[in-house]
A and B are shown apart, each in its own frame.
Chain A
């Protein structure tokens, strides 16, 4: 960038937000623009109409949904406005700031029991249905014009190697293949990324595997890609490298859905281009590398570190350099504040001492979990690891999975730090035929009881002040999840159907990692025995219009 362009910000598109004019800089998302005025409470939760603010930074959570030109549920964090766009918020009445339906939060302090409640008297059935039916969903259905605008021509392509994820591992893999004369296609869901030199990169694109056709065996993989906002792409790939990374998990505590509670991914994404994040005094929860990274990068806006366990000396040093107070071995019990977190309540593990720490944000940096849905979907053999408490694919040293033609590398396969690009490079060498297949890598983190099983065992024995939201997308409370086991039902599949957890817009990405631990705890068995819920296509939400456009391309396999 030249000195000139740094001083004079080029003008970007002008759009309206809730009727008022706004101006974006080129490359801004709607959320980037709104963040200049601080963290916006864009949503109301579907059942209780609690205020919600963006939290995940990945386009997964349901907290930044807006309506753009009549199209509902567009994620403000992913959508780059065009000149003249009309952006509105969706589900507060009369407005998102003052929402009369928020009365439901107060009227039902122990939750709406839609499973057993509203059955009597019989004559009120229709009335109950009228009311409860309105407590669903976020937006109103799309206008016909908005749907018509989504018609982009579909595309069908065949590629030799498809790399999913343009993080360090995916890039390293692509680089080695390019150096050897290959031309892999790299896909990432992020909005803007450095180009991958020599390889084609598709951004804002999510993928889902189509089930294999009976006649084909496993190959080629058919992959449905969807590029926001409207393009459907059908890819036939001989080989696929999954390098989709990991993400920061959520955490269960009282009022854990309060605006200001966010994951480390979210905090970092909301401090774009090195700008300040939308908070001034955050507490960071965690004690590992990720927590250290957040403290280091946002030190001026972090006031305290809350650690579930002991804090390693290295992190103690980082914190004291930054003037960040440390609360080691603590349970995070509850957030206070209504439209924004104002403080958190901590309980010291062991002594039980309660303390209250003022803050305007809670950054969850305690546990990174691999982004495994596509791996489950395509039937990769997976194995549970106690720390961080998640399933990882079984891979050989070159990243080969149990599915022929499918590799998994980088943090989705458990590689951390410098090992991540190395794993991508090794996969490329084996794709090039330089590395023979090997036994399943035994050097991966071992199975066994993990840190957060113990954390939750201790936490869930205690009283539960505030609302404990187990699935924010669907506004499902922890006690609704716990009612599953209490009712004598077992396993994650039934839990999902019984409670509704994991059926929202993120399809469980945000809530399942914790739900598995909770279910295991209550069922009295290992999380690996609780199972994992079947990942159903399209894995990432995809508009009907984009799928419809692909229909003529779906020739049966014989005709290809």
Chain B
């Protein structure tokens, strides 16, 4: 087994998904000192290698719109900065509303997004039909659209950030499990791994769907739950669908990738937890097939090539957890990204780096900090635009 090259690191990061890798990269660029990333799986084995590649800026709070907008700018630069082409295609995100109430909600979001300087629009059913060729008549009352949202190909993003971080001296150990954290005088002092312990004043929890499990191992409880989400790919076709399409009512989403495959999923409401593993459920393929063909009947003639699943890391209020834990100084949270960690990673990782370096951040700790869960007034669970 590979083991750490050093006995001590300035920062250790648990999880080599897109969040952990981007964080390592930001820290290395900031000259944070020796950095170790451990992952017990293989590169791209977590949610970062299993997602739909959707990147949107239509959010219902200013802070998240801004994080997303910053990430879009970062992904536009990605090819030049990291040497890999992620084929970030800004061909829009289209949210579908089936009832006037849903449309009213989308309109509120759209107005907020517009007020942030983005060209968000509300579409009538004809406008929707123009963008989704073959949509069943009468299926929607309207939609919300933003042309500068889009999709990217997640794998080259992982390779690019991984290689860039390593080129800056970051050590990445794959196949190594982080089993716990040691502390001294109430402050993080080390990380215990299956390849041995290392001394470190900072541990970043970027363990995705397993962040709750790792936080527990470190003795700091977080209210995150992992939920299994399934997704499938249809056989490649010549281009016929531009935007990522998302339906508000059931979380159905689909887009056509650069490779021509339709990739999509929907929310299945599995019991929380990672114990069920990452296979798909028996119900998923038929349910997804029925839902998708009811909306776009012509897709019925396409073959399903494969279905797979991954874990969302969900928080009660739908916002990620970013920041140092006051209960255990030195322990930094970087998780809770639900179904949108890929699109937020470039911007979010800079704030994680801020937390590690203890430099001031523009994030409101009431919205993103871990303390919101154990403060005097815990946040209410809310249903947000958590889709796609």
User: Which residues of A come within 8 Å of B, CB atoms?
Assistant: 46, 70-73, 91, 114-120, 122, 129, 132-134, 136-144, 146-148, 150-151, 210-211, 213-214, 222, 224, 474, 487, 489, 491, 493-494, 497-498, 500, 503-505, 507, 534, 536-538, 541-548, 550-551, 553-554, 556
Contact = CB atoms under 8 A, between A and B. Distances in A.
B283 interface: yes
B239 interface: yes
A543 B302 contact: yes
Interface in B272-291: 276, 279-283, 285-290
Given A497-B44, A547-B304, A141 B237 contact: yes
A129 B89 contact: yes
B238 A210 contact: no
B298 interface: yes
A155 to B, nearest CB: 13
Contact of B303 (A91, A119, A543): A543
A115 B156 contact: yes
B83 A116 contact: yes
Contacts of A143: 298, 301
Nearest to B166: A488
Interface stretch (B195-203, B305-313, B349-357): B305-313
B179 interface: no
A544 B293 contact: yes
B70 to A, nearest CB: 18
A144 B84 contact: no
B301 A147 contact: yes
Contacts of B260: 133, 136-137
Contacts of A538: 285, 304, 306-307
Contact of B282 (A136, A213, A536, A544): A213
Given A132-B87, A489-B159, A554-B282, 6 more contacts: A115-B156, A115-B159, A119-B83, A493-B45, A537-B307, A543-B304
B238 A548 contact: no
A438 B57 CA distance: 61
A493 B42 contact: yes
B281 A211 contact: yes
Contacts of B134: 141, 144
Nearest to A489: B43
13 contacts: A70-B301, A91-B238, A122-B80, A136-B258, A137-B237, A141-B238, A141-B298, A142-B301, A147-B301, A493-B45, A505-B305, A538-B304, A554-B282
A498 B160 CA distance: 11
Contacts of B163: 487
Contacts of B258: 129, 132-133, 136
Interface string B242-284: 0000000000000000111100000000000000100111110
B289 A547 contact: yes
Given A493-B42, A541-B235, A142 B300 contact: yes
Nearest to A146: B301
Contact of A541 (B259, B285, B289, B303): B303
Interface string B215-236: 0000000000000000000111
B169 interface: no
Contacts of B305: 503, 505, 507, 541
B49 interface: yes
B297 interface: yes
Size band of the B side of the interface?
35 or more
A117 to B, nearest CB: 6
B286 A118 contact: no
A45 to B, nearest CB: 12
For the complex of A and B, the 4 pairs showing the least CB-CB separation, nearest first, are: A142-B301, A136-B260, A137-B260, A545-B300
A136 B293 contact: no
A115 B239 CA distance: 20
Most chain B CB neighbours (cut-off 10 Å) among A213, A498, A537, A546? A537
Contacts of B239: 133-134, 136
A545 B287 contact: no
Contacts of A117: 85
Given A115-B156, A210-B282, A497-B44, A544 B300 contact: yes
A538 B289 CA distance: 12
A137 B84 CA distance: 22
Contacts of A146: 298, 301
Contacts of A222: 282
Contact of A119 (B49, B80, B234, B288): B80
A553 B237 CA distance: 29
Interface string B307-336: 110000000000000000000000000000
A118 B156 CA distance: 13
Contacts of B84: 115-116
Given A136-B258, A136-B259, A542 B89 contact: no
Nearest to B307: A537
Nearest to B305: A541
A140 B238 contact: yes
B301 A548 contact: no
Given A543-B303, A554-B287, A140 B297 contact: no
Nearest to A542: B304
A127 to B, nearest CB: 12
Nearest to A546: B289
B292 interface: yes
B283 to A, nearest CB: 5
A475 to B, nearest CB: 11
A183 B308 CA distance: 35
B286 A548 contact: yes
Nearest to B286: A551
Contacts of A546: 289
B236 to A, nearest CB: 4
A551 B284 CA distance: 9
Contacts of A151: 300
B289 A544 contact: yes
A532 to B, nearest CB: 14
A454 to B, nearest CB: 28
Given A148-B300, A542-B303, A548 B236 contact: no
Contact of B290 (A139, A503, A541, A548): A548
A72 B159 CA distance: 34
B282 A137 contact: no
A543 B289 CA distance: 9
A378 to B, nearest CB: 11
Contacts of A542: 303-304
A494 B43 contact: yes
B240 interface: yes
Nearest to B293: A548
A497 B49 contact: yes
Contacts of B4: none
Contacts of B306: 503, 507, 536-538
Contact of A494 (B44, B85, B89, B287): B44
A146 B79 CA distance: 40
